[in-house]
Amino acid sequence: MPNVTSDRARGRSLPARAGVGLRSAHFADFASGRPDVAFLEVHTENYFHRGGHEPALLDRLRTDYPVCLHGVGLGLGSAQELDRAHVAKIAAAVRRFEPAVVSEHACWANVDAVHFNDLLPLPFTDEALRHLSGRVRELQDRLERRVLIENVSQYVRFGHSTMSEGEFLAALVAESGCGLLLDVNNLHVNAVNVGFDAKDTLDRLPPDAVGEIHLAGAVRREVDGQELLLDDHGSRVSEATWALYDQALSRFGPVPTLIEWDTDVPPLDILLDEARRADAALAVCHARAA
Amino acid sequence: MPGLLELQRSFASHLLGQPGASPEWAEGRSLSALAGLRIYRNNARATFERALELTYPVLQQKVGTDYFRQLAYHFRAAQPSRTGDLHDIGRRFPEFLETHLAGTPYAWLAGLAALEWAVADAGVDAGGPSVGVESLAALPAPELEFVVLVLAPSLRLLHSAVPVLSIWRAWQPDGDRRSIDLDEGSEFVRVHRHSNGVMLRAIEAREFAFVVAMAAGSTLGAALDASQLPLALLPAVLQRLFIDGVVSAVHPPGRPR
């Protein structure tokens, strides 16, 4: 097990309520008021630089809200050398903003010095598991804290995978000591596009490991004559994803839940409306657990 | 079956190249492998374009979306992203345009891009404390010639043969978008991170040369000599530097820097 310090000892913990992703379209709302959300999540890379409006705003907001740093550019599963300069910038952001949660993705992003700036899928093999586990351990040791790892949407399935996604993520938790950020929408997208039972994946994940849930919208598109779901974070959460979220809460209990919206970002009220719906589901879950 | 590195190299070749045969490692079920790879290919291209658009909004407006995307396509082919920090994607776009557009009527766009990169890069600089002109005024007059002014780390100095700052200002959200004749003349521009944002100021050629020399660590006297700035203009030039918050520290002669 890595040398991991409790998240709670390093800052504010997340309440099992709904938060939203802080996006530039809503800076004015948060600068001028205190919208009723339980926490804020930002993309870590947007806070790599010391100056500018965003870091200054987050410095102020983190006195009112617990903050999560969600990395999108590290590509932990990339087979070649880990970008340690990038890790150092994450560490600097963690020192500055003292987040309640630090998260990354179970993905790769770069090879042979070309970075694709995307969350590219890993095969679910022993080799990929060993590699990703080692990288997660290294990151956790560097940050001296547990990191949550998020499942990504997949539009390609690898023929040589020897595990299901649920088995892979459960083994990652066991081997690295990380927690999981369960993106319920990604799970739904994958289940629809690739064709598997999402409930089976939920059942394979260790309940204590799930530290945060993401909810987002997806869009149905035709690609090369095939209809599929694209994880575009550009619409309300679908009813199918809400239903899967209820199943996730039944299995994992009340878990801090983020409403993610990255494209065609609407007025904040729409996100708050989605957050209230998540809060209602969490309230039912809290009552059940009491 | 391929190892992880071999797999990622093969995957990358499908993202960078043209659609070809379905790779042997991909298994298509309800979604074919080629359709899936096309999604990733489009995502990577769109993210790259979007990052450039955010850094170069005036250039994008001036040339239009279609031509901007052509430029982005060629730039990505020549200089693919090397980093997970989207801010850095556009770092070398100005020098790419300088080469790519050399000898064409659009060559001047490289200067506009250089200005936009300076604004973007200064915008994420940490900034820092600046000192007032009183820290210079407190020194004995005979020492002034040997004083070194430490200028803000965010300072960027640009010279363009066309009026890029005037164009940039006209195409800001509150700009008048007036047509500006490229023959109006060259501009010397000082850009730096200010407490309230990024400050851009057009300055005269000799003042520009003076600030360039100061930025290189010259003493006041040496910078005056190098720039041929008339002594009579020095007070106004220094006052602008101090009032704009460009001076981080004043090092009297003989003191450690």
Where along chain A do its domains lie?
A: 7-289
Percent of chain A with pLDDT over 70: 96
Contact B32 A226 (CB under 8 A): yes
Q: How far is CA A226 from the centre of its chain?
A: 28
Which residue among B2, B31, B154 places its CB closest to the CB of A155?
A: B31
Which residue among B9, B28, B40 places its CB closest to the CB of A120?
A: B40
Which residue among B15, B32, B123 places its CB closest to the CB of A51?
A: B123
Same domain, B94 and B164: no
Exposure letters A51-61 (e unless 16+ CB within 10 A, then b):
bbebbebbeeb
Q: Averaged over A201-222, what is the pLDDT? A: 95
**Residue B170 domain boundaries:** 134-251
Same domain, B227 and B186: yes
C-alpha to C-alpha distance for A17 and A38, rounded to whole angstroms:
6
C-alpha to C-alpha distance for B91 and B113, rounded to whole angstroms:
10
User: Within an 8 Å CB–CB cutoff, is residue A155 touching chain B?
Assistant: yes
A244 pLDDT band, cuts 50/70/90, is very high
C-alpha to C-alpha distance for A18 and A277, rounded to whole angstroms:
9
C-alpha to C-alpha distance for B176 and B173, rounded to whole angstroms:
9
Contact A79 B85 (CB under 8 A): no
Taking alpha carbons only, the member of B91, B235, B194 closest to residue A52 is B194
Q: What is residue A7's predicted lDDT score, i.e. its pLDDT?
A: 44
In this structure, is residue B61 part of a structural domain?
Answer: yes
User: Within an 8 Å CB–CB cutoff, is residue A164 touching chain B?
Assistant: no
Q: Between chain A and chain B, how many beta carbons pairs sit less than 8 Å apart?
A: 152
* CA-to-CA dists, residue B55 to A254, B76, B94, angstroms: 41, 15, 11
A37 pLDDT band, cuts 50/70/90, is very high
A2 pLDDT band, cuts 50/70/90, is very low
A67: tokens are 């903050």
Same domain, B139 and B239: yes
Q: What is residue B255's predicted lDDT score, i.e. its pLDDT?
A: 56
Which residue among B25, B30, B40 places its CB closest to the CB of A160?
A: B25
Q: What crossing angle do the helices spanning B109-123 and B33-55 adopt, rounded to 10°?
A: 90
Cα A180–Cα A181–Cα A183 angle in degrees, nearest 5: 130
Contact B12 A114 (CB under 8 A): yes
Contact A49 B40 (CB under 8 A): no
User: Within an 8 Å CB–CB cutoff, is residue A73 touching chain B?
Assistant: yes
Contact A155 B40 (CB under 8 A): yes
In this structure, is residue B125 part of a structural domain?
Answer: no
Q: Averaged over B44-52, what is the pLDDT? A: 96
Exposure letters B211-227 (e unless 16+ CB within 10 A, then b):
bbbbbeebbbebbbeeb
C-alpha to C-alpha distance for B45 and B131, rounded to whole angstroms:
45
Chain B residues whose CB is inside 8 A of the A75 CB are 84
- Give me chain B's average pLDDT, please: 93
A223 pLDDT band, cuts 50/70/90, is confident
A10 pLDDT band, cuts 50/70/90, is very low
pTM: 0.92
- The pLDDT of residue A36 is above 60: yes
Total domains in the fold of chain B: 2
Contact A75 B84 (CB under 8 A): yes
How does pLDDT run across A137-169, given as a tens digit for each residue?
A: 999 999 999 999 999 999 998 999 999 999 999
Q: Is A70 exposed, middle or buried (0-12, 13-18, 19+ CB in 10 A)?
A: buried
Contact B81 A115 (CB under 8 A): yes
How does pLDDT run across B187-205, given as a tens digit for each residue?
A: 999 999 988 889 999 999 9
Same domain, B78 and B185: no
What CATH number did the domain enclosing B202 receive? 3.90.930
Q: What is residue B26's predicted lDDT score, i.e. its pLDDT?
A: 87
Q: In angstroms, what separates the C-alpha of B45 from chain A's closest C-alpha?
A: 8
Where does chain B show beta strands of DSSP type E?
Answer: 26-27, 148-151, 156-160, 187-194, 197-203, 247-251
Asked whether this complex has an ipTM greater than 0.90, the answer is: yes
* β-bridge pairing A101-105 and A148-150: parallel
- The pLDDT of residue A5 is above 80: no
User: Within an 8 Å CB–CB cutoff, is residue A109 touching chain B?
Assistant: yes
Contact B123 A89 (CB under 8 A): no
A9 pLDDT band, cuts 50/70/90, is very low
How does pLDDT run across B80-134, given as a tens digit for each residue?
A: 999 999 999 999 999 999 999 999 999 999 999 999 999 999 999 888 889 999 9
B221: tokens are 């006297």
CATH fit for domain A7-289, picks 3.40.50.720, 3.20.20.150, 2.30.130.10, 3.30.70.270: 3.20.20.150
Of B69, B91, B107, the residue that ends a domain is: B107
Q: What is residue A11's predicted lDDT score, i.e. its pLDDT?
A: 44
Q: What is residue A82's predicted lDDT score, i.e. its pLDDT?
A: 95
Q: Where are the alpha helices (DSSP H) in A144-266?
A: 165-176, 184-190, 198-204, 239-252
Interface probe for B, chosen from A78, A156, A190 (most Cβ of B below 10 Å), is A156
Q: What is residue B31's predicted lDDT score, i.e. its pLDDT?
A: 59
* β-bridge pairing B26-27 and A257-259: unpaired
Q: Averaged over A79-105, what is the pLDDT? A: 97
């890069």: which residue's tokens? B121
Same domain, B229 and B151: yes
Percent of chain B with pLDDT over 90: 79
Contact B81 A116 (CB under 8 A): yes
Instruction: Provide the terminal-to-terminal Cα distance of chain B, rounded to the nearest Å.
Output: 60
User: Within an 8 Å CB–CB cutoff, is residue A187 touching chain B?
Assistant: no
- Give me chain A's average pLDDT, please: 93
Which residue among B4, B44, B82 places its CB closest to the CB of A128?
A: B4
Same domain, B8 and B97: yes
- The pLDDT of residue A3 is above 90: no
Chain B residues whose CB is inside 8 A of the A108 CB are 8
In this structure, is residue B113 part of a structural domain?
Answer: no
User: Within an 8 Å CB–CB cutoff, is residue A123 touching chain B?
Assistant: yes
Contact A226 B30 (CB under 8 A): yes
- The pLDDT of residue A90 is above 50: yes
Q: Averaged over B16-43, what is the pLDDT? A: 80
Of B59, B88, B107, the residue that ends a domain is: B107
Interface probe for A, chosen from B13, B25, B29, B83 (most Cβ of A below 10 Å), is B83
- The pLDDT of residue B29 is above 60: no
* CA-to-CA dists, residue A190 to A77, A241, B79, angstroms: 19, 12, 32
> Which of A13-17, A242-246, B97-101, B111-115 is predicted least confidently?
A13-17
In this structure, is residue B192 part of a structural domain?
Answer: yes
Which residue among B4, B5, B29 places its CB closest to the CB of A157?
A: B29
Same domain, B174 and B224: yes
Same domain, B243 and B151: yes
Which residue among B8, B25, B31 places its CB closest to the CB of A79?
A: B8
Chain B residues whose CB is inside 8 A of the A123 CB are 4, 7, 25
Chain A residues whose CB is inside 8 A of the B30 CB are 192-195, 226, 228
Interface probe for A, chosen from B6, B9, B24, B43 (most Cβ of A below 10 Å), is B43
Chain A residues whose CB is inside 8 A of the B85 CB are 45, 48, 73, 86, 89
- The pLDDT of residue B224 is above 60: yes
